[in-house]
Amino acid sequence: MGKTWELDFYSKPILDENGKKLWEVLICESLCQPCSPETTGFRYSKYYPSTEVNSIALGQAIEEAIAEAGEPPTQIRFFRRQMNNMITKACKDLGMASKPSRRTLTLLSWLEERSQQVYPHEPGYDEAAAKSTSVKMESLPPQRLPDALIGQKWAFVSLEAEAFADFNEWEIGFGEAFPILGDKSLVPDLSPNSSIPGLIIFSSRALPMAAWISGIELAFLRFDGKEQPRLILETGPNESWILANINDRKTQKEAEGFEAAKTKASGVHFLAVQSDPNSESFAGFWLLREVELA
């Protein structure tokens, strides 16, 4: 399987000599890969004046990135829906697949790093503008899962962070993970014994369910305690699905504990699918992270 890239093309809190914001193309190899294969950690960045912000310039930047990386990606993920038309056109003109996604965790980590270590040292840095660059993405009302994809049982569980070190050796039908420990970690606050909460869904149709989940661009799980308490699966750029309605206080307390543990783990958690509790393999396993978009 080829590699996934994550891309951003947006204005920065840096003013040029005319007082206009500079724009920047950021392209990085995603560390969110199936079964955590070896990655090069490829990165590409380039500033642009606002007068050169168009799909042609973006296409040229992607071509430059491909030349530097030595090979094209299989797909490109991006999270800014307001840039959808430009990014989609640039990729389409190059014959490349692109998709809006909130699973751009490598890019978001890099953006945070650049916001702290790079942009403040650039000539023309505008501190006031830097404080107003976060993006709030509102999800659409959650949809009901297709009947064939509703699990017979589910359970809240947890694993220590160090358990994911050999993720690529697990027996998994469909899955994706990212480094949470070591030099390439996207979550520097975690330690080997940090508790990572998760949800396991048990279903007699585990493999079809995992296949469906793998195609909807997972973002994160959350507990919605308003009105009817329920577990929500956030996917794509703004879609969401009702995984389960919670009808008893005991399970609601477990869901609240899941949210608290997720917060303590810097948003990291997981979703797994198995045929039954005694299975030693997973039809699907995804490491997720709820993170504020930059």
Averaged pLDDT of the chain: 90
Q: What is the DSSP letter of 260?
A: H
Superfamily of domain 4-130, CATH level 4: Ribonuclease H-like superfamily/Ribonuclease H (3.30.420.10)
Tell me the per-residue pLDDT of 92-107, one tens digit each, with 9 for 90 and over: 999 999 999 999 999 9
Is 81:12 a contact under the CB 8 Å cutoff?
no
∠ CA 282-179-191, rounded to 5°: 105
Is residue 294's pLDDT more than 60?
Answer: no
| Whole-number pLDDT of residue 36 | 45
Q: Count Cβ atoms below 10 Å from residue 194 Cβ, excluding itself.
A: 20
| For residues 130-143, average pLDDT | 68
Indicate the angle between helix axes 55-69 and 84-93, nearest 10 degrees.
60
| Whole-number pLDDT of residue 25 | 98
More confident site: 214 or 289: 289
SS3 state of residue 7: strand
More confident site: 116 or 41: 116
Q: Count Cβ atoms below 10 Å from residue 207 Cβ, excluding itself.
A: 15
Taking the C-alpha atoms of residue 87 and residue 64, their distance in angstroms, rounded to an integer, is 15
Taking the C-alpha atoms of residue 54 and residue 122, their distance in angstroms, rounded to an integer, is 23
Is residue 232's pLDDT more than 80?
Answer: yes
Is 231:255 a contact under the CB 8 Å cutoff?
yes
| Whole-number pLDDT of residue 182 | 87
- Percent over 90 (pLDDT), the chain: 69
Tell me the per-residue pLDDT of 51-79, one tens digit each, with 9 for 90 and over: 999 999 999 999 999 999 999 999 999 99
Q: Which amino acid is at 45?
A: S
pTM of the model: 0.89
Label the pairing between strands 239-245 and 143-144. parallel
Taking the C-alpha atoms of residue 78 and residue 99, their distance in angstroms, rounded to an integer, is 6
Tokens of 83: 């840039």
Instruction: Return residue ranges of the chain for CATH 3.30.420.10.
Output: 4-130
Tell me the per-residue pLDDT of 216-228, one tens digit each, with 9 for 90 and over: 889 999 999 887 8
List CB contacts of 284: < 8 A, sequence separation 6 or more: 172, 173, 174, 175, 206, 209, 210, 211, 213, 214, 271, 272, 273
